[in-house]
Structures are given as structure tokens and as C-alpha cells.
Amino acid sequence: MPVPAQAPSTAPSTPTGADHTAVVEMLRYSPVADDLAERFAAAGHRLYLVGGSVRDALLGRLSPDLDFTTDARPEEIQALVSGWAEAVWDTGIAFGTVGAVRRGVTCEITTFRADAYDGVSRNPVVAFGDSVEGDLVRRDFTANAMALSLPDRTFVDPYGGLAALARGVLDTPTDPETSFGDDPLRLLRGARFVSQLGFEVAPRVRVAMEAMAPQLGRITAERVQAELSKLLLGAHPRRGIELMVDTGLADVVLPEVPAMRLEIDEHAQHKDVYEHSLTVMEQAIGRETDGPDLVLRLAALLHDIGKPATRKVEPGTRVSFHHHEVVGAKMTRKRLRELRYPKQVVEDVAQLVFLHLRFHGYGKGEWTDSAVRRYVTDAGPLLDRLHKLVRSDSTTRNKRRAAALQRSYDDLEERIARIAQEEDLARVRPDLDGNAIMELLGIPPGPLVGRAWRHLKEVRLERGPLDDEEARAELRRWAADEGIGAEGIGAPGDEGEPEH
């Protein structure tokens, strides 16, 4: 049975002195809010700062972007901001929203909404309302259902948003079944706010999430991806992922993640691969140096998703996951493509998943310089992220083993730095380009040039840089072995990528 909606109070509540100060402080940094309010009031309209702008101010998170709601209709909003704002846009006017920029502050002003939903798509039948209370009740969570009347600065909180903020709880203004039924994306948005704000969901909200999780299938992949990315980039992504898994939302969005709960980690460090992956993600986040990194966080979360499909019980009850990095990379590409992630994000995350296990062949430094060059070349611009991912993948509770793994990786990084000083590892290319190959072998452009180019690149990786005479001698030896004479006739090969 749905839990009854929280009844709105009969009068606007007043925040505590500290809370009120937070909102006023934000307005001090954004004097355009009062300026805009005076403009609306002079035209006989009400204007309210609303939603995330109020929530973030109360949490001490000031932002130059302000959200407003008003009884003015979209055409009236356009007229009021025209000539006042430096820029105005109306891409959201069909939904009652007009955007404007004034003195570097972005303002989005939306007419009171009183939408209805058809229960099939997430798109509302847009209807405009006449009261701020009616507008606030249709919002996703009570923490986003507060407003500040301007210019008088009366705090409006009919659904207990301030109390919810104080408790760190996400609840819905109306019963959650109605709220989520109107827009199932709010199911995932709840997990996103848990990640961003560190809140817990109210018990009735969790119950509704569990019951209604399959309805996320009504939402387009692009919208789901946007919410998932915000969740992963939040301050507490583990909490958000755990909520998704526990309520069944992940079964719709990222089914490979809950599937890992069934697989025991081969080192028995954690109760399952799922817990291990969450720990790796947290450790990778701790190594970020330039702010939240979506590619790194996705790779850390998904690096072991190939384990369920490759699990095998070996003699002596040991569990193995041979080639799980290969399978996992394929699964990663498939899932991220279905979520409509940009191609570069898909390829970068998949490549990190593919490479994350390679270091474990390094041992105590047994790799040749050639192997080190291949490691760097295959990682390419992802090398720094690969360093962070591999270091984070050590979750053993054995302090001696953990220290040994970190020392081993320290040694690898030192070797990379040393070789990089001697060679240009960022641009490992053959010592002869395509033009030199064609001139030396007397051949025209074509697949044969690509074959020769790839051979010289392999030699470069194995032996390091060659001087010009050595490179030419090596090319002549290869041509002779391949039966290629001066006329350039040899066995057909696939297309190459010679540098001209």
C-alpha cells in the first residue's frame, strides 16, 4: 500500500537563523536575483528562487546558476527579460522555461507547472499552474521542493524539505509510487542524489524503488546515461551504486555489476567480486589528481565484469578467471554503447579493462625493455589512468603482499621513466617512414608498404631505436626473407598504416 503523501503545512515555514543566512548569503553573491524579482513584481508577477538553488544554498554549496519559478507565462517571461539580460534563449519554452544570462549569472525561469503524465512515456502533458505549492508538489524530492519568495525573501517549505535536509533523507513530496510513476527517471535520480549529497532514501522511497525498478526501461538510454554519469562523478558513488544494486535498478541499467556478487574473488580478499570492484573504484577515486574522472571510475567499477563468464573451479577448489580481461573489455563496449556513451569514452574504458591485468606478468621485474615499451605503447594516452587503476586493483588485506605489489609497480614506473628519457615512448614509430621504405625497396604505395612498416615497428619495440643504417639493413633482411626483390613483388598482405 502506498504511504500517504506528507500533508503540506498551512503556512510557509521559516528556516533557522543559520539556514536563512545561507540563502541570503547566496543572494549577496547574486544580486541579479533581487534585480530580476523587482522587475517581475513591477509587472504584477510573483517570482521564487526554487529547487536545487535553494537546496544547495542551505547546504553551503553556492552556485552562479539560479533556478526560478513564477506565475508569469512563458511569453511574459520573455518580454520581462528582454533588454535586461545579455543573452536569452527559449529552447525549453515548450515546457515553460526561458533562460537568461545577466552579469555572468545564468537564470532559468519556469512558469508554475501542474503537469499530467500518461503512464507510458516520461514526457508530461505540459500544463501551467497558478501556485508555488502546486509547482513544488510535482518535484522529485522534498529537498528540491523548497522556494524563496522574492524580493521579500519569505521561505516556502510546504513538504518538509528543510527537515529532510537536516536529517540527510531523500523523500518525495507526494507518495513515491505516484512520483516515480509520473517519471521513472526519478528512480535513478534518487540514487544520483545519494551519491552527490551522501543522503539516505526514506524507507517508503526504497520500497517504491524496489517495486518499480523495471519501469526504468521506459526511459531513453541517453537520459539514463546522463544520470548514471552524474552518480559516478558524485562525492559518494559507492553509496549510489549500492542503492542501485540493492533495489534492482542496476539490473536494468548495469546488470553486469550485480552479477558480480555471485563470484568469489580468486584471492579471497572480499566476500565477492562485487565488493572488490567497489573497493577498487574507491581507491581509484583516491588517486584522482584533476577532479572526478568518469573514464577511470567506470573502468574501476567494470574492470572485473568478465569474471562471471570465465569462472572455473580448478583442482584444489581454487577459482580461476582466465582471460576475464578480454571478455570484460567486450562486455564493457557492449554495455557502454547501449547506454549511448561517446565513442571515445567507450573505447578508453574498454581498453583500460583489457589492460588492467597485464602488469601481473611483471613479477619482480622480469619484463624486458621490449615488454615495457609495449605496455606504454598499448596504453597510449591512457597510461596515467592505467597506473592508477592497476595500483587501485590491489585490495589484499595482507600488508606485506600489498607493499610488495606497490614496490613492484614503483619499479615499473621507474623503468618507464628511464626508457622514456632514452627514447620517445610517446611516439613509438618505425625508424623509417613510408617514403623511405618505398624508396629503398623500389615499391609503390600499397599494402606491401604497410607490411614493411609494421615489421619495422615490431623491431623498434623489441630493440629500441635503430640508427638509419641499422634500420635500412633490417628492412633489406626482411625483404629478402619475404622474397621481395627490387621489383617489390611479395605475398599479399592486409592494409597497413605507413607514415608518409
For residue 125, what pLDDT is reported? 66
The b/e string for 339-364 (b: 16+ C-beta within 10 A; e otherwise) is bebeeebbbbbbbbbbbbbbbeebee
User: Which residue in 310, 395, 392 sits closest to 352, CA to CA?
Assistant: 392
Asked if residue 445 has pLDDT above 60, the reply is yes
pLDDT tens for each residue of 133-176? 999 999 999 999 999 999 888 889 999 999 999 999 999 999 99
If pLDDT is split at 50, 70 and 90, which confidence band does 455 have? confident
If pLDDT is split at 50, 70 and 90, which confidence band does 431 have? low
Q: Which cell goes with 280?
A: 577498487
The superfamily in CATH containing domain 17-167 is: Beta Polymerase, domain 2 (3.30.460.10)
Integer Cα distance of 325 and 21 in angstroms: 53
Asked if residue 58 has pLDDT above 90, the reply is no
For residue 492, what pLDDT is reported? 40
Integer Cα distance of 80 and 386 in angstroms: 52
If pLDDT is split at 50, 70 and 90, which confidence band does 342 have? very high
Model confidence, pTM: 0.78
For residue 4, what pLDDT is reported? 37
For residue 201, what pLDDT is reported? 97
Q: Which letter does DSSP use for residue 290 in this model?
A: S
Any idea which of 118-132, 155-169, 229-243, 368-382 has the lowest mean pLDDT?
118-132
Asked if residue 318 has pLDDT above 90, the reply is no
If pLDDT is split at 50, 70 and 90, which confidence band does 59 have? confident
Comparison of pLDDT for 24 and 412, the residue scoring more: 412
- What is the mean pLDDT of the segment spanning 371-399? 89
pLDDT tens for each residue of 232-286? 999 999 999 999 999 999 999 999 999 998 655 555 444 589 999 999 999 999 9
**Percent of the chain with pLDDT strictly greater than 70:** 83
Integer Cα distance of 372 and 216 in angstroms: 45
Asked if residue 317 has pLDDT above 90, the reply is no
- What is the mean pLDDT of the segment spanning 32-54? 93
For residue 491, what pLDDT is reported? 40
The b/e string for 11-38 (b: 16+ C-beta within 10 A; e otherwise) is ebeebeeebeebbeebbeebebbeebbe
- What is the mean pLDDT of the segment spanning 301-322? 82
Integer Cα distance of 276 and 443 in angstroms: 55
Q: Which run of H or E residues covers position 472?
A: helix 468-481
If pLDDT is split at 50, 70 and 90, which confidence band does 490 have? very low
For the chain, what are the domain ranges?
Answer: 17-167, 358-426, 429-500
The per-residue pLDDT of the chain, averaged, comes to 84
Asked if residue 10 has pLDDT above 70, the reply is no
- What is the mean pLDDT of the segment spanning 68-82? 95
